[in-house]
Amino acid sequence: MPPQYKGQFRCVILSAKRLVLEEEVQSILITGDRGEYELLPYHYPLIGIVTGDIVINWIKRLPVKGGVVRFFANECNIMIEEKVGDTNR
């Protein structure tokens, strides 16, 4: 069972074609150009490159080819390129 954190932050994930996700989350795990990192509520502001899949709340995996992430003022915005054939969400 995943850890229980009390804090949440707003997460918006967009592709070129659609809004993929817009909700309050507790955690985002990202594989980036500088390794893996986990964004939790009130994380230090950052801008980075996404190079692998995104895991939301330690449960839901979102397969991506790549993208850009911005975390600022307890809000996470991620623009992604979806993997081909992954339109079932």
**Tens-level pLDDT at each residue, the chain (89 residues):** 565 657 999 999 999 999 999 999 999 999 999 899 899 999 999 999 999 999 999 999 999 999 999 999 999 999 999 987 655 55
Q: How many domains does the chain have?
A: 1
CATH number at residue 39: 2.60.15.10
Q: What is the pLDDT of residue 3?
A: 58
Note the pLDDT of residue 48.
95
CA angle 19, 21, 40 (to 5 degrees): 140
Q: Is residue 89 part of a domain?
A: no
pLDDT score for 45 = 96
Distances (CA, A) of 74 to 15, 26, 70, 87: 21, 11, 10, 28
**Residue 73 structural domain:** 9-82
Structural domain contains residue 88: no
Q: How far is CA 78 from the centre of its chain?
A: 6
- Is the four-CA dihedral 6, 54, 50, 77 of positive or negative sign? negative
